[in-house]
Amino acid sequence: MIDTLLSLLSVDSVQGSPAPNAPFGLGTKEVLDRFLATATSFGMRTKDVDGYCGWAEIGEGELLGIPFHLDTVPFGEDWTHSPLGEVTDGLIYGRGTEDDKGPAVAVLYALKSLLDEGRKPRRRIRLIAGLNEESGWKCIERYLATEEVPAMSFSPDADFPVINCEKGVCHLALTLPLPEDVLSVTGGERVNMVADRATFEVKHLSDAAFSKCLKGGIKVKFIEGGFRLSAEGVSAHGSTPEKGENAILKVLYAVKSSGDFLADLYDAFHATDGSGLGISMSDERSGALSLNVGKAETGDGKVTFYLDVRYPVTRTEEEILSAIATAMPAATLEVKGRHLPLYVSPDGELVRSLLAAYNEVTGETARSIAIGGATYARAFPNAVAFGPVFPGEDSRIHQRDESISIDGFVKCAEIYREALVKLAF
């Protein structure tokens, strides 16, 4: 398992430039080839769907799907271990160890262990490998358009015990005219990551703002016509912005005394519950809304902020857009991506079987939960997310030094093995 995971981690599978049979870049194609080659060696039937995705299956009858992804977000900076795979002190480091190469390998070897015992599945089991999960889900769109849709599925791309409820996701581009005293704003890499870098260039800087910059560790440089402010933050997943330190917000806080425009931006964006934009809301099933300012850029006299909004399952995207338009009437809003909310009854075979597998292996009496993350479960009928992050675990998904413990990696495989026994053997 470790060797196979290290092989996948050694491939940089961040989305790149399209190439023949590699619409998301050569790295994504290479990591898919490696995964399918391993599955083929285990006796599974495989298919490369024109480089968009791939699958490996075994057995006959009704189809159980296990969708996951082999692409990753960018590495980011300041790693203390290799983002391309390193084993140190019982931990496997690398981009994708938790999200989502590690869980993919754990499921593959869980299935292999059952096949090695000579067991025959009563359902057909298909492992579905996506290559564009972090950048648009075009992989799964292609799969659903051309391949067989499973009767039930679980996606090993979130948290244990079982996630039967996922908040709605709305990725927005919010654009405003750039005032004369703000020269440029840049920050972040992806809308679904907390921005760990930001640079503002402004014509004027108040004494209070200058003092806040110095106290907050923001670098100030004199440039022609003004000042350049540079800040570093701490990245985190866009669904949990409170776990990171947003560099864009860090600068806005420091300079808000330098002008109404900057002050208004800080007031609008600083609260991760969306209250600054009038979109704070929650429900009993899925909890509270979250807001992440993931990226900012300027051009043509305008500044655009890319927002990641995760909203409760009983609310709607239309409510979100209407409230933001009311809060910021000068802004232009464009929806860049969306995922509708997910809710699967906890009383059906799928959730009951997965919960039983988790509880039997761990000795817990856990119940299903809700998250703000978006998994492939939303794309399939009768589907939920299942692992790999354990309750209370300090996950570093989308952060520097992403890792999975060897003990946790093995326990994941044990849980997935028991789940396969209950659902397909």
- The 10s digit of each residue's pLDDT in 302-360 is 999 999 999 999 999 999 999 999 999 999 999 999 988 999 999 999 999 999 999 99
Chain position carrying tokens 């799928």: 350
Q: What percent of the chain has pLDDT over 90?
A: 95
Task: With cut-offs at 50, 70 and 90, classify the pLDDT of residue 30.
Answer: very high
Question: What pLDDT is attached to residue 70?
Answer: 98
Position 256 scores a pLDDT of 93
Report the run of H or E that residue 8 belongs to, with start and end.
Answer: helix 2-9
Angle subtended by helix axes 26-41 and 2-9, to nearest 10: 160
**Residue of 71, 86, 99, 147 marked active site:** 71
The Cα–Cα gap between 394 and 260 comes to 39
Q: pLDDT digit string (tens) for 170-228?
A: 999 999 999 999 999 999 999 999 999 999 999 999 999 999 999 999 999 999 999 99
Which amino acid belongs to residue 77? E
**Selected catalytic residue, list 133, 147, 159, 401:** 133
**Cβ-proximal residues to 31 (8 Å cutoff; 6+ apart), any chain:** 8, 11, 13, 70, 71, 101, 131
Average pLDDT of the residues in 70-84: 95
Pick from 166, 173, 293, 188: nearest CA to 242:
293
Please report the pLDDT score of residue 371 as a whole number: 87
> Model confidence over 12-23: pLDDT tens digits?
999 999 999 999
CA 43 – CA 39 distance, rounded (Å): 7
Torsion of CA 31, 34, 36, 39, to 10 degrees: -130
Q: What is the pLDDT of residue 257?
A: 92
CA–centroid distance for 248 within its chain = 20
- DSSP, collapsed to helix, strand or coil, labels residue 372 as coil
Q: Is 407 among the residues known to form the active site?
A: no
In sequence order, the β-bridge partners of residue 237 are 193
Residues in contact with 13: Cβ distance below 8 Å, sequence separation at least 6, in sequence order: 25, 27, 28, 30, 31, 70, 71, 72, 96, 131
What pLDDT, in 10s, does the model give residues 98-156?
999 999 999 999 999 999 999 999 999 999 999 999 988 999 999 999 999 999 999 99
Mean pLDDT of the chain: 96
The two tokens of residue 27 are 């790295």
pLDDT of residue 341: 92
pTM: 0.76
Q: Which domains does the chain have, with CATH numbers?
A: 2-166+342-424 (3.40.630.10), 168-339 (3.30.70.360)
Quote the pLDDT of residue 372. 85
Structure confidence at residue 417 (pLDDT) = 98
Residue 373 has pLDDT above 90, yes or no: no
Neighbours of 407 (CB within 10 A): 10
Number of neighbours of residue 350 by Cβ within 10 angstroms: 24
Mean pLDDT of all residues in 267-287: 96
Q: What is the pLDDT of residue 278?
A: 98
> Using alpha carbons only, what angle is made at residue 66 by residues 65 and 70, rounded to the nearest 5 degrees?
135
Tokens of 422: 């209950």
Closest by CA to 211, choosing from 160, 268, 149, 256, is 256
Q: Which two tokens stand for residue 132?
A: 């564009």
Distances (CA, A) of 18 to 29, 71, 369: 10, 14, 38
- Distance in Å from the first CA to the final CA of the chain: 22
Active site residue 71: yes
pLDDT-based confidence at 385, cuts 50/70/90?
Answer: very high
pLDDT at position 420 over 90: yes
**365 burial type by CB count under 10 A (0-12 exposed, 13-18 middle, 19+ buried):** exposed
Q: How far apart are CA 278 and CA 385, in angstroms?
A: 30
User: Tell me: the pLDDT tens digits for 350-359?
Assistant: 999 999 999 9
